[in-house]
Amino acid sequence: MSSPDTFRQEFLRFALECDVLRFGEFKTKSGRLSPYFFNSGLFNTGESLLRLGRYYADAAIASDVAFDMTFGPAYKGIPLVSALAIGLAEKGHNLPYSFNRKEAKDHGEGGLIVGAPLKGRVLIVDDVITAGTSVRESVAIIRAAGATPAGVLIMIDRMERGTGTLSAVQEVEAQFGIPVIAIAALPDVLSLVSATAALAEHKHKIEVYRETYGVVD
């Protein structure tokens, strides 16, 4: 079982193992040349999803954010919230979860929400935050149901500026007044390359990138 002191590095090594985390030179949507890239879509097997759910659960528990249930925005959030629910249950926190449909169903049980009713404090789970669109939609859905968004749980926080002085994560925290929890963040990536001889060549490029585009933690 991961401990609060080690799960972040374990997660990044797991991401390396799955080829989710890569080092080199990658052009981002913003046109920046990043020395590392994170492709969460490559967590695409049953075993990797099981392990991912455990790391999500580690981060949620370590954060001390209080929540009564979890919610995953369609579509990417559906397997993620399912994995998180399983990971939490394994650690003794058997909580309800739900996700939304893109379009409300007008037959059968109907409605927009699948799973448990949205009640109490709701933790949103996603892969990353870029433009924050899915978070805004999720917050609106949760509040419309009379529940309270408790926070957002993501895999990695790149901690770099968007078009302004804040990162996408900081913008979400400022706009909605809720914490964003990440399994790992840029300082954890730097710790990984510093501790791994095979990755040491990438350290300087990541430090320069952070100095150029990074935000204050």
Domain assignment of residue 13, yes or no: yes
- pLDDT over threshold 90, residue 30: no
pLDDT at site 186: 95
The per-residue pLDDT for range 191-202, each reduced to its tens digit, is 999 999 999 999
Q: Which residues are catalytic?
A: 105, 107
The rounded mean pLDDT for the chain is: 92
Of 71-75, 104-108, 204-208, give the lowest mean pLDDT range. Answer: 104-108
Query: Please, which residues bridge with residue 156 across strands?
Result: 184
φ, ψ at 207 (rounded to 5°): -65, -40
**Contact, 213 vs 37, CB < 8 A?**
no
User: According to the model, what pLDDT value does residue 1 have?
Assistant: 45
- pLDDT recorded at residue 3: 47
What is the per-residue pLDDT for 217? 61
Whether 107 is in a domain gets the answer: yes
Query: What pLDDT does 110 receive?
Result: 52
Whole-number pLDDT of residue 36: 97
Task: List the domain range (segments joined by +) for residue 120.
Answer: 7-213
Examine residue 101 and state whether it is found in any structural domain, yes or no. Answer: yes
pLDDT for the residue 109: 52
Give a yes or no: residue 105 inside a domain.
yes
Eight-state DSSP code of residue 206 = H
Question: Is 124 part of a structural domain of the chain?
Answer: yes
Has residue 2 been placed in a domain?
no
Is residue 1 situated within a structural domain? no
Q: Which pLDDT does position 214 carry in this prediction?
A: 94
In a domain, 168, yes or no: yes
The pLDDT of residue 83 is above 90: yes
> Strand ranges (DSSP E) for the chain?
21-27, 33-38, 69-72, 97-105, 111-115, 121-125, 148-157, 180-185
Domains of the chain: total: 1
pLDDT digits (tens, 9 = 90+) for 138-161: 999 999 999 999 999 999 999 999
In CATH, what number is assigned to the domain containing residue 57? 3.40.50.2020
